[in-house]
Amino acid sequence: MRRPKSRKSRSHAVGALKRPIVLVGLMGAGKSSIGRLVAARLGLEFVDADAEIESAAHASIEEIFETHGLAAFRSGERRVIERLLAGPVRVVATGGGAFMDDDTRRQIKTLAHSVWLKADLETLLKRVARRGGRPLLKNKDPRTVLAALMAARDPVYAKADITVETSENPPAEVADRMIKALESHLGVGPLAPAGKRGESHGRAMGGPARGRAAANKPAQPPRRGGPGRRGRRAGARHDGGQPAKPQPGDRG
């Protein structure tokens, strides 16, 4: 039976950080995926601000935009982020426009360690093409929209405490560089235990993370029928046949 995670492993990063880590940047920069990796390595909770907004509003980000408009969405986003910053030390991924709001940016700069995850246009285009639900791109040319957003927002994102380049780099590598940048910014020793650097990549990204034992384990013959129809059906449905809900992420 797996033992619960010791509070001791959490206390080191919490004590050194003292404040939450808030990730800012454009849609497709990797705030959710990299945020989860960093949180796992530091033994912290990961929170997606967009998911919290959807939970509070009982509606998707796209529905909030369509029903109430951008101004109402930003107002709700501001309140949610204020609540998250008042909570425990954790890793928070914000929507692409959150840091553009003067009040929200002031709160983040005062109450958190802000990290801009920066990516070039081609990388952003590849990533946003993988998932919908981004109101700012709806019925528009993604290249034109993202180029305009980069021109307007990058100078503001640059006000974050730390900048980490994410273009074309594996998430595990970006997570390691982000942790090292935090250590340098804070002037502290390793935030993550030695065994945690890189080990969470397999679990967070769905790949192997058991090292030599997994590599040496003989391959098992496929079970009769294989993944076949049952596997496909399980991948398409969950919770008694309801359509699987997309993972929350940055909507812009």
CATH number, position 143: 3.40.50.300
Q: What pLDDT, in 10s, does the model give residues 5-15?
A: 444 444 478 88
- Residue 112 domain flag: yes
DSSP one-letter code for 87: S
Whether 156 contacts 105, CB under 8 Å: yes
Tally of structural domains, the chain: 1
* pLDDT number for residue 219: 43
- Residue 240 domain flag: no
Residue 197, pLDDT above cutoff 70: no
d(CA 162, CA 158): 8
What's the pTM? 0.73
- Residue 25 domain flag: yes
- Residue 216 domain flag: no
- Residue 94 domain flag: yes
Give the DSSP H/E element, type plus range, for residue 67.
Answer: helix 61-68
d(CA 29, CA 220): 38
Whether 95 contacts 252, CB under 8 Å: yes
- Residue 77 domain flag: yes
In the chain, the percentage of residues whose pLDDT exceeds 70 is 70
Q: What pLDDT, in 10s, does the model give residues 204-215?
A: 433 333 333 333
Question: Which is nearest to 153 in space by CA: 127, 116, 198?
Answer: 116
Domain that holds residue 191: 7-207
- Residue 231 domain flag: no
d(CA 184, CA 73): 35
Whether 24 contacts 242, CB under 8 Å: no
d(CA 158, CA 186): 18
Per the listing, tokens 């840091």 go with: 99
Whether 36 contacts 46, CB under 8 Å: yes
Chain centre distance of CA 205: 12
In the chain, the percentage of residues whose pLDDT exceeds 90 is 53
Q: Cα separations (Å) of 246 from 41, 60, 133?
A: 24, 11, 9
